Amino acid sequence: MSKSLATDQIMDHPKPIHKLNRWRLRFGERWVLLLIGDFLMAVAALLFGLYFWAVGQEIPDFVEFLKVRPQDWVFLLPFAWPLLLLELYDTHRAANRRNTIRGVLTAALLGIVLYAVIYFTSEPKSLPRRGVAGFVIFASILTLLWRLFYIRVFTAPRFMHNAVLVGAGSTGQALLQVFNQFSPPPFNLVGLVDDDASKIGHEIEGFNVIGGSECLMDLITDHAVTDVLVAISGKMEDHMFHALLDAQEQGVMITRMPVAYEELLGRVPVHHLEADWILRSFVNETRVGGFYDLLKRLLDILGGLVGVVILVAISPLISLAVYLDIGKPIVFSQYRAGKGGQPYRIIKFRTMVTRENQENDLQLAKEDDERTTKLGRLMRKTRLDEWPQFINVLKGEMSLVGPRPEQFNLMTQYQQQIPFYRGRLLVKPGITGWAQVNFGYPTTMEGMTRKLEYDLYYIKHRNIWLDLVILLRTIGTVIGFRGQ
């Protein structure tokens, strides 16, 4: 049975669109709602945690306990808790019960591990255990209850937007395939509209092509449609253009397929972009100001200095371990393509038995690569092999955040096979990036295409906040041994 609604399934009492929209939240609004809810749960957890702490003390009055016992930093815990939940601010992941439970438990474990490291490296009895443990326990329980309430209520059909997809060709089909990946779906899709008579009445990816442009306004009225997704890659006929204008005048949100694709997946659809997309997106829309460039460079210098200090501390131990594992050389160096295609030498600790130090090695490193030693796999999981690249960051050849640098010969091959591949050279390569925290190591040409989609999304939307999010998610990846 089709997932879409046929034209004869008319609502008995159609309601004005603006009234139905009042409680239907968009992606950005859902993100803010989740953040506010998590923060309030953390504040409540802090109060419960402090009371739990006070019960075990000799000070009977709770107010007096708050004045005497807790250190000032304890009251900052509600601000730190949302940072641990960073993975769950993806609104699609937040709508999934299993991902939510796993994410909250991971945040609690991560918080306990981080605090344990601080606790055992501080002076004895200088930091509390009972209060922080109580906070983590109550924050986990309250946040989980809040998140399950969010899933139950705000992902229900009445809180979701109703949408119509205009265009049933290859571009529209690609968007439908993306839509079908989500459970629950990101919106209620009423059906498809296309002026190609040969498509009308047919089912595509489980949805009906209801009619042409002449039925668009009827669908909007009858089904309280709030969003129209436009997936027309060729020339748009005048009557369809006028129908879309009529829809916009009624307060309907008109969204082009590439934009919808970006909102749903956090990457750009390189196989479904127009020829001038790279100019419109990367020349007009990504002109970041000098203030961002200055902040990013200062962040790189600060992070680079911290990274190099840690590198000096850990190098003797890692060097000895690598030497005992696979011998010399300890580090691996290779020319990579920097910003604008300028060559520079990348530095890494060696993790493979053979061939990794060859200048023109065209073999891609794979997940669970047979050339990687057991020590090398551990170093990759924790990203320790990447640590010498902080030297490249201080030299200005790399940034903390950006697309991962690629080998020159492989770059030539990818540019011939993947659209817009050269666009990733518009910014400095990074130690970590949007593709790394969302995808990982590609092992096929299809995987390289998907990685590029994430890289281009980052370049288009880059800002300091996105850089900080990527850095925090990378820390979670390292601590959780999820590197590759």
Q: What is the pLDDT of residues 58-117, one digit of tens each?
A: 666 777 777 777 888 888 999 999 988 988 888 888 888 888 998 899 889 888 888 887
* Residue 428 to residue 236: CA distance in whole angstroms: 38
Write a three-state SS string for the chain.
CCCCCCCCCCCCCCCCHHHHCCCCCCHHHHHHHHHHHHHHHHHHHHHHHHHHHHHCCCCCCHHHHHHHCCCHHHHHHHHHHHHHCHHHHCHHHHCCHHHHHHHHHHHHHHHHHHHHHHHHCCCCCCCCCHHHHHHHHHHHHHHHHHHHHHHHHHCCHHHCCEEEEECCCHHHHHHHHHHCCCCCCCCEEEEEECCCCCCCCCEECCEEEEECHHHHHHHHHHCCCCEEEECCCCCCCHHHHHHHHHHHHCCCEEEEHHHHHHHHHCCCCHHHCCCCHHHHHHHHCCCCCHHHHHHHHHHHHHHHHHHHHHHHHHHHHHHHHHHHHHCCCCEEEEEEECHHHCEEEEEEECCECCCCCCCCCCCCCCCCCCCECHHHHHHHHCCHHHCCHHHHHHCCCCEEECCCCCCHHHHHHHHHHCCCHHHHHHCCCEEECHHHHHCCCCCCHHHHHHHHHHHHHHHHHCCHHHHHHHHHHHHHHHHCCCCC
Per-residue model confidence (pLDDT) at position 360: 46
Per-residue model confidence (pLDDT) at position 23: 53
Under-50 pLDDT residues of the chain? 1-20, 22, 285, 356-360, 481
Residue whose tokens read 């059906």: 191
Q: Give this prediction's pTM.
A: 0.80
**Token pair listed for 472:** 């925090």
Contact 172, 203 (CB under 8 A): no
Per-residue model confidence (pLDDT) at position 359: 47
Per-residue model confidence (pLDDT) at position 237: 84
Looking at CATH, the fold of the domain delimited by 160-265 is given as Rossmann fold (3.40.50)
Neighbour tally for 143: CB within 10 Å:
28
The domain segmentation of the chain, as residue ranges, is 27-154, 160-265, 290-479
Per-residue model confidence (pLDDT) at position 484: 53
* Residue 304 to residue 301: CA distance in whole angstroms: 5
Per-residue model confidence (pLDDT) at position 355: 53
Contact 293, 279 (CB under 8 A): no
Per-residue model confidence (pLDDT) at position 42: 95
CA torsion sign for 201, 207, 213, 218 is: positive
Per-residue model confidence (pLDDT) at position 445: 86
Per-residue model confidence (pLDDT) at position 474: 85
Residue whose tokens read 């945040």: 107
